[in-house]
């Protein structure tokens, strides 16, 4: 009788189905990076937004209310010109000849206190020189000269500006003039960020706005009104001011974070006070440096356990990364983790067998590593079967 019982026990232990294996996550679907999150807190009536290449928009505040954007309008003016008359680095483009009407316009705008550069009848400006006049000293008169050259009339050129803004996705932006002196040219911080991101992908535009000065045929040496250039990695983009808008700035900077060179782009609108341009530029420097301080590179070493495969037979197999990963992240932000198994984990698989992948996601940044099993899958031992019934 005892022999029958023992035989039955052995048969049951050997032949019974095992418990269902399952995967146990070591990293959750959202891993929070340590540190204090970066946030902007603009004064009443101001708008701010900032983005990091690879992460997208990091933070914004009050960034969707249309407001006059003054000379930030010239970013779109330059974009239309470069769209209709493309340049590559090293090209000057076709020549524009200054006529008597352009000179009269210069004197009129100068008498009103507008931002202008001197021109003479018969002077020749290349397309690139005209763009430098528009984007560096912010010459209203050359902006109008370019618009007339491109479209024949100011109104026709403004229509092109609005069409391009819409195509970029700047839905809350309306241009009423080519230079920004018309306060009915309105936009939002978020829209200006979209426009600036589009503009900075053009090497000619990006190279021009990074210049501290340029030399024009008649005006001579002209200086960039963006006094932040060259400080804290700042290399663009454009300033503006109107009584109706206050000080405005689109700021671009390159920042070193660990092993990565990071591009930062920010917008501040509506800076009031006695010194709106110096104040908005000071705010832009603080925006860049404070954001940079909150960026970090998260290192994930090869061999990091992402999940454990519990075979339900006493064997737990770590699923580990195969690659060293370096991820750009912000303090206090969530890093999304997605795992995908592409191969069934079965008896006989050797250590090092790739069974899937893991992807870390932050903003538009996606970084992937293969997953392999750290130990071989040997199956259930006789001892485990006999002692776990």
How much is the mean pLDDT over the chain? 88
* Res 1: pLDDT: 55
* Res 379: pLDDT: 60
Tens-digit pLDDT profile for residues 39-82: 888 888 899 999 998 888 888 999 999 999 999 999 999 999 99
Residue 174, classified by CB atoms within 10 Å of its CB into exposed (0-12), middle (13-18) or buried (19+), is: middle
Residue 7 has pLDDT above 70, yes or no: no
* Res 13: pLDDT: 43
Other C-beta atoms closer than 10 Å to the C-beta of 15 total: 8
Angle between helix axes 73-84 and 189-200 (nearest 10 degrees) is 30
Per residue in 228-250, is it b (16+ CB within 10 Å) or e — as a string?
A: bbeebbbbbbbbbbbeebbbbbb
Residue 18 has pLDDT above 50, yes or no: no
The Cα-based distances of 28 to 233, 305, 373 in angstroms read 36, 12, 19
Q: Is 163 left (phi over 0), alpha (psi -120 to 50) or beta?
A: alpha
Tens-digit pLDDT profile for residues 39-50: 888 888 899 999
Percent of the chain exceeding pLDDT 90 equals: 63
* Res 120: pLDDT: 96
Torsion of Cα atoms, 150 then 151 then 153 then 159, to 10°: -120
* Res 389: pLDDT: 52
Tens-digit pLDDT profile for residues 303-353: 999 988 887 666 788 989 999 988 888 888 888 888 898 988 877 789 999
Tens-digit pLDDT profile for residues 358-378: 998 887 788 899 999 898 877
Residue 383 has pLDDT above 50, yes or no: no
**What is the mean predicted confidence (pLDDT) over 189-209?**
97
């Amino acid at each position: 009788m005892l022999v029958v019982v023992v035989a039955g026990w052995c048969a049951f232990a050997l032949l019974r189905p095992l418990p269902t294996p399952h995967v146990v996550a070591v990293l959750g679907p959202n891993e929070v990076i340590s540190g204090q999150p970066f946030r902007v807190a603009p004064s009443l009536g101001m708008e701010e937004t900032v983005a990091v290449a690879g992460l997208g928009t990091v933070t914004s505040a009050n960034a969707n209310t249309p407001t006059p954007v003054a000379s930030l309008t010239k970013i779109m003016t330059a974009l239309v010109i470069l769209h209709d008359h493309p340049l590559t680095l090293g090209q000057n483009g076709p020549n524009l000849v200054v006529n008597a009407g352009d000179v009269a316009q210069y004197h009129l705008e100068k008498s009103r206190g507008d931002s202008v550069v001197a021109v003479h009848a018969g002077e020749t400006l290349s397309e690139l020189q005209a763009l430098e006049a528009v984007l560096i000293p912010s010459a209203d008169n050359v902006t109008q000269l370019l618009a007339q050259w491109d479209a024949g009339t100011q109104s026709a050129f403004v229509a092109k500006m609005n069409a391009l803004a819409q195509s970029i996705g700047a839905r809350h932006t309306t241009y009423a003039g080519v230079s920004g002196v018309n306060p009915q040219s309105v936009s939002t911080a978020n829209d200006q960020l979209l426009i600036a991101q589009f503009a900075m992908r053009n090497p000619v535009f990006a190279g021009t706005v990074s210049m501290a000065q340029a030399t024009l045929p008649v005006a001579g040496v002209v200086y960039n009104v963006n006094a932040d250039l060259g400080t804290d990695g700042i290399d663009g983009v454009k300033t503006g001011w109107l009584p109706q808008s206050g000080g405005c700035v689109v700021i671009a900077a390159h920042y070193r974070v660990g092993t990565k060179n990071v591009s930062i782009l920010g917008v501040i609108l509506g800076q009031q006070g006695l010194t709106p341009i110096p104040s908005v530029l000071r705010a832009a420097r603080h925006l860049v440096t404070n954001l940079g301080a909150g960026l970090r590179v998260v290192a994930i070493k090869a061999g990091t356990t992402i999940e454990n495969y519990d075979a339900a037979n006493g064997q737990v197999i770590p699923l580990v990364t195969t690659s060293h990963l370096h991820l750009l992240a912000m303090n206090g932000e969530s890093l999304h983790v997605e795992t995908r198994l592409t191969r069934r984990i079965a008896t006989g698989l050797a250590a090092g067998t790739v069974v899937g992948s893991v992807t870390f996601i932050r903003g538009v940044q996606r970084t992937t590593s293969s997953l392999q099993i750290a130990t071989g899958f040997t199956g259930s031992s006789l001892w485990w079967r006999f002692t776990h019934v």
